[in-house]
DNA sequence: GCTTGTTAGTTACAAAAACAACTATTACCA
DNA sequence: TGGTAATAGTTGTTTTTGTAACTAACAAGC
């Protein structure tokens, strides 16, 4: 008869983080999925280009910590849908600079508005001090110390 | 020229939560993957049976919020590896009660020890008050209010 | 110049996940 | 009873992901 340890699965940080991440992503996922037929990597690429401006695929890989094959496929989809255009760089012809089309920018702004409202709703459950602390802790756990 | 909004992707709660969840899961993932060849759903099932004792597949679905087809296949794997045994319930023959074998319990204890140590390392970056607040917030975001 | 190594991005194939349809058993109720 | 609906769990099919191998362009050393 195995005597119980005080280990609690619900308090295991990676597990709890995953539960919170999944649950808190659900409603937003429904929007980009139903409204634009996008996948997770696709909205992330869209948002990177929307918030940071022109970037290369590798820039997005680094910043978003997503593997290059996923980025490659997401970019293809976004280009097909005319949300993104690519342009070979003149200095280095391996590189392609990515940016949003006007249609892509419209989609980005639409989703960004949803994201802002949605995030405000999530934050409303807590005090602003709690939110600040949460962000600090999550950034440290994510390995996003200040820079990057 | 799109004037910048104050939206910050890195502060968008679902995004930040996902980054933290992914990063904080990596090192533990390597252990259950390399040491036991397990997938995410498999260690989760193992841990549910280890920490809560005998459960049915549906119990695990509800508690862990994982789809039943994923549970079904994870259980198959664990049964093949002799970590779990199934027993048809007598009251309701649709139901099967799942529990760990001695080998499964050994694996569970081994991984639990790793998890505890790993979690302690994560928590060590913060004060105990901060950790308590983080847990409270994550549970609320995950929709795990007290019960369940 | 030529070899060797590195980087940007794509493609091919295998593993895993999502989703729908299925079997078997139980519950409800007319 | 008999018929319909609900539940537990599985299986099959399609998407999506992960991994490795690939092409193309540049870079450095000789």
Measured between alpha carbons, how far is B71 from B55 in angstroms, rounded to an integer? Answer: 12
Measured between alpha carbons, how far is A9 from A15 in angstroms, rounded to an integer? Answer: 7
Q: Distance from residue A3 (CA) to nucleotide D16 (C1'), in Å?
A: 42
Query: Which residues have C-beta within 8 Å of that of residue A130, sequence separation ≥ 6?
Result: B133, B137
Distances (CA, A) of A115 to A27, A67, A118: 10, 24, 5
Q: Which band of pLDDT confidence, cut at 50, 70 and 90, is reported for residue A6?
A: confident
- A93: number of CA atoms within 13 Å, CB side? 0
Return the pLDDT at A5. 67
Return the pLDDT at B4. 56
CB contact under 8 A, B133 and A135: no
- Span A122-134, pLDDT tens digits: 999 999 999 999 9
**Residue of chain A with shortest Cα separation from B100:** A2
On whether any CB of chain A is under 8 Å from the CB of B33, the answer is: no
* Closest CB from A8, A20, A112 relative to B138: A20
* Closest CB from A14, A51, A122 relative to B7: A51
DSSP H helices in chain A: 13-36, 40-52, 57-64, 68-80, 102-123, 128-141
Q: Is the CB of B82 under 7 A from strand C?
A: no
* Closest CB from A12, A18, A142 relative to B119: A12
- Span B103-147, pLDDT tens digits: 999 999 999 999 999 999 999 999 999 999 999 999 999 998 754
Structure tokens at A115: 């994201």
**Residue of chain B with shortest Cα separation from A124:** B141
* Chain B nearest C-alpha distance from A49 (Å): 11
pLDDT at A148 over 50: no
Q: Which band of pLDDT confidence, cut at 50, 70 and 90, is reported for residue A4?
A: low
Return the pLDDT at A146. 55
Distances (CA, A) of A61 to A7, A94, B48, B49, B142: 36, 16, 35, 38, 28
- Nearest nt to the CA of B89 via C1' is D8
Calculate the dihedral angle through the C-alpha atoms of A122, A125, A129, A135, rounding to the nearest 10 degrees. Answer: -30
Query: Which residues have C-beta within 8 Å of that of residue B102, sequence separation ≥ 6?
Result: none
Strands A96-100 and A84-88, bridge-based pairing: antiparallel
On whether any CB of chain B is under 8 Å from the CB of A2, the answer is: yes
Q: Which band of pLDDT confidence, cut at 50, 70 and 90, is reported for residue B3?
A: low
What string of DSSP letters covers chain B?
--PPPS--GGG-HHHHHHHHHHHHHHHHHHHHHHHH---HHHHHHHHHHHHH-SEEHHHHHHHHT--HHHHHHHHHHHHHTTSEEEEE-SS-TT-EEEEE-HHHHHHHHHHHHHHHHHHHHHHTTS-HHHHHHHHHHHHHHHT--S--
Measured between alpha carbons, how far is B4 from A52 in angstroms, rounded to an integer? Answer: 10
Q: Looking at strand C, which nucleotides approach a protein CB closer than 7 A? A: 7-12, 16-21, 24-27
Structural domains in chain A, sorted by start: 22-141 (1.10.10.10)
Q: Distance from residue A75 (CA) to nucleotide C11 (C1'), in Å?
A: 15
- Nearest nt to the CA of A40 via C1' is D16
């Amino acid at each position: 008869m195995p005597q119980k340890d005080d280990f609690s699965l619900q308090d295991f940080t990676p597990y709890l983080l995953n539960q919170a991440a999944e649950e808190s992503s659900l409603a937003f996922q429904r929007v980009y999925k139903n409204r634009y037929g996008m996948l997770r990597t696709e909205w992330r690429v869209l948002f990177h280009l929307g918030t940071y401006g022109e970037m290369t695929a590798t820039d997005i890989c680094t910043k978003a910590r997503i593997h290059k094959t996923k980025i490659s496929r997401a970019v293809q989809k976004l280009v097909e849908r005319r949300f993104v255009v690519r342009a070979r760089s003149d200095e280095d012809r391996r590189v392609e600079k990515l940016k949003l089309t006007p249609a892509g920018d419209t989609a980005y702004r639409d989703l960004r508005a949803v994201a802002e409202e949605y995030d405000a709703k999530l934050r409303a459950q807590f005090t602003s001090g709690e939110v600040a602390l949460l962000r600090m802790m999550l950034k440290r756990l994510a390995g996003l110390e200040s820079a990057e």
